[in-house]
Structure 1
Amino acid sequence: MPPGSGQDDSILLGLVQRGDEHAMASIFDRYSRVVYSVALRVLRDPSAAEDVLQEIFMQIWRNPDSFTATRGSLGGWLAVVSRNRSIDALRRKRPSESIDDMQFASSYNLADEAERNSMMEKARAVIHLLPAEQRKTLEMAFFDGLTHAEIAEMTGDPLGTVKTRIRSALITLRKAFQA
């Protein structure tokens, strides 16, 4: 039975219903990266993403019946739950200070900001033109914070291929900025 198969997940969830901590650890090991990556992408805050991760896995521990196999795969369901919880967390955030209490820096350099925006637009355009595999691998490495080995594991690509794609993408970016 391959890891991550629906039947295997059903067995693990059944064991979690009976309080099996090892089964819960297996589910966590299998899906925590997906849940965290989705939460981090939405929230852009590692601490808040960890909170969402903890909430979701505590829900499974307390109520393993919240997932039913008719909804699809456990991994897919967890990714959707992570996205929804992250969006809810963004909506709950309120400014911690009153606008009257905020102090704004007066030394604003418009030229630096314009140059930075121009460079960001150029980078976005070059990244958009990269082949899909390079773009996806680059995004996983730099925006999701995954290691080369984690990317290889998630995509099923050989480690050398992942490294080559990232290197090729970075060389393309460097050439675009040197031109």
Structure 2
Amino acid sequence: MSARRDKNMELALDLPARSTGRERQPPAAEQCSDGELLHRIAAGDREAFDVLYRRFVRPVFALALRRLGDRGRAEDATQETFASVWRSAASYRPERGAGAPWLYAVARNAIVDRTRARSEPPIEAPDEPSSELGPPEEAERSWLAWRVHRALQELPDHERPLLELAYWSGLSQSEIAEFLNIPLGTVKTRTRSALGRLADALEELE
């Protein structure tokens, strides 16, 4: 009885080693979603990084060039974007949304950094309405910028990047679909939803 039990245990232990050539292997990097690639990049997977780079280098560069208007600065921003992706991929949280919007946020930060390096700093939305006295037009502009900024922050993570890419970066819906790697129909649907939410949020802030 003991011998039979030992034999059964040996057979059980042998099962994983009986290769049929059909073991489940990790999918090739080319077949991974953007989020899966970021997860693998966080673990130091260079192949996953190369695939993500090939997917997004063109739209990131186009975004930077459109925003900065200078090829050299756009190339610098693109390089910094992917350097940041390699360094900070572990901060990506799939439960908060797909990988492309996260990468867009990284690209946006890199582009803003390059914009700030200009002799004339960009106008950023204020965190609070300006308390400084000035002409009525400037006060109204400050208040409106603050309201829009606050309302945008209330949008879901899967909708906010669409409006930022459309209005901050001036991309068309087709370009947004390419950048975020989602269908054009999804861009249109989410944009309509985001605009509706934005209008509601702005009314609440009046």
Scaled by the length of structure 2, what TM-score is found? 0.44
Higher alpha-carbon Rg? 2
Scaled by the length of structure 1, what TM-score is found? 0.49
